[in-house]
Amino acid sequence: MEGIVMQGVRSNHRLLGFGLAVLVAAGVCQPAEAASVGPVISAARQGNVGAETYLGSLYLEGQGVPQNAATAAYWYGQAARQGDAVAQTDLGLLYQAGRGVPRNDVLAAYWYRQAAHQGNANAQNNLGQLYELGHGVPQDYAKAIYWYRLSGEQGNAAARQNLMALYAYMAKLKQK
């Protein structure tokens, strides 16, 4: 299996890394069984975007490496700067939560926006929430609705719920 994993990492096949994470999370296999972390680290150090994102997730969850949110943020940042939408979204989450990096909603919004423009439904929903609440961006219900709709159209149930709740809130405001 290691040969298949590293072949996928070397060819920047993001779905393979995600699939492996799912297998590990489901308890089907242990991280060490899924892939040796050493080659992933080596590929990440060489600038492989898929390896950087995958290594970030390994550090965030402590799978095969010591759990370390700051190191996860580093690797997500490396991949995010290369345009990886998953890494951009995950880095946004870390900034929004202040996990491994100082809490910074402006940077969270920046990274969500980068991923949202690439069509990442989770980033679109998260960016919508920031616009709705005015965290890191000026409060703007029209922009919140825009991002919730885009995310919801991709099947994101949370975005659909957020959109319905925002519409209900806005209807109550008009009644006052």
Stated pTM of the model: 0.81
Residue type for 56, please? G
Outline where DSSP puts E strands in 13-100: none
CA 5 to chain CA mean position, Å: 21
Nearest to 148 by CA among 137, 160, 157: 160
Nearest to 148 by CA among 115, 174, 175, 123: 123
Whether 101 contacts 73, CB under 8 Å: yes
3-state secondary structure at position 36:
coil
Q: What are phi and psi of 54, to 5 degrees?
A: -65, -40
Query: 66-119: per-residue pLDDT in tens?
Result: 999 999 999 999 999 999 999 999 999 999 999 999 999 999 999 999 999 999
pLDDT value for 29: 46
Please name each of the domains of the chain with its CATH number.
1-94 (no CATH), 104-176 (1.25.40)
Q: In whole angstroms, what is the distance from residue 125 CA to residue 146 CA?
A: 10
